[in-house]
A = this chain, B = another copy of it.
Amino acid sequence: MDVKTVCLGMLTEGDATGYDLKKYFESTFSHFFAAGYGSIYPALAALFGEGLVECTEISQRGKPNRKVYRITDAGTEHLREALSDPKPSHKLRSEFLATLCFAHMMSDEQVDAVLDNRLEEIARYEAMFDEYEKAGLCQWPPGKRFVCGFGQAIVNAAKTYIQENRDLVVPVDHDQKTAHG
């Protein structure tokens, strides 16, 4: 499943512009599927060329025309076929884990920094998920709720693991641990 298919799927939840879809990728999808404008706009153009989406242009002064896309019946059918893969992939690519595999080549300070930075990013994800819960998570389609819960579960497991096992790769600094308690 490529960016094109994901865009098509996003359009099942309502008409949108490329700009809107980008925001979507940055929010709910950010923890498992990245895409930038350089992927999204060409994807929409291709979908349009294949008749899988329609486009309504809305003139605006000073800005490019707003192009609102809507999925067509052909698009819906195409999406259903794409979703029929019973073994969709789930791939991690982690420089973080690769780096730690080679921790024996690094100083303790470096390893510490890498772990702390990861914990910070995890905290950002947690904050993001909390935002979603405050907003209308309860009214979301069940698939989206499942996926966000999945993200929370994984992120939480990662956080706990790092906190409880960092002594494997770096000597524990007890001062740091009790500093701001």
Given known A86-B114, A99-B85, A154-B157, contact A32–B145 (CB-CB < 8 A): no
Are the C-beta atoms of A98 and B6 separated by less than 8 Å?
Answer: yes
A19 is an interface residue with CB less than 8 A from chain B: no
Are the C-beta atoms of B85 and A95 separated by less than 8 Å?
Answer: yes
Contact residue among B88, B102, B143 (Cβ-Cβ distance under 8 Å from A95): B88
Q: Which A92-142 residues sit within 8 Å CB-CB of chain B?
A: 92-106, 110, 113-114, 117-118, 121, 141-142
Copies assembled: 2
Given known A154-B158, A161-B150, contact A96–B106 (CB-CB < 8 A): no
A58 is an interface residue with CB less than 8 A from chain B: no
Are the C-beta atoms of B32 and A103 separated by less than 8 Å?
Answer: no
Task: Please give the residue numbers on chain A whose beta carbons come within 8 Å of chain B beta carbons, in ascending order.
Answer: 1, 5-6, 9, 12, 28-29, 31-34, 76, 79-80, 83-106, 110, 113-114, 117-118, 121, 141-147, 149-151, 153-154, 156-158, 160-162, 165-166, 168-169
- Can you give 30 A-B contacts (C-beta < 8 A)? A1-B98, A1-B99, A5-B98, A6-B98, A9-B98, A9-B102, A12-B102, A12-B105, A28-B101, A32-B93, A33-B93, A34-B91, A83-B99, A86-B110, A86-B113, A88-B95, A89-B94, A91-B92, A91-B93, A91-B94, A93-B93, A97-B147, A100-B143, A101-B143, A101-B144, A103-B142, A150-B158, A153-B157, A153-B160, A154-B154
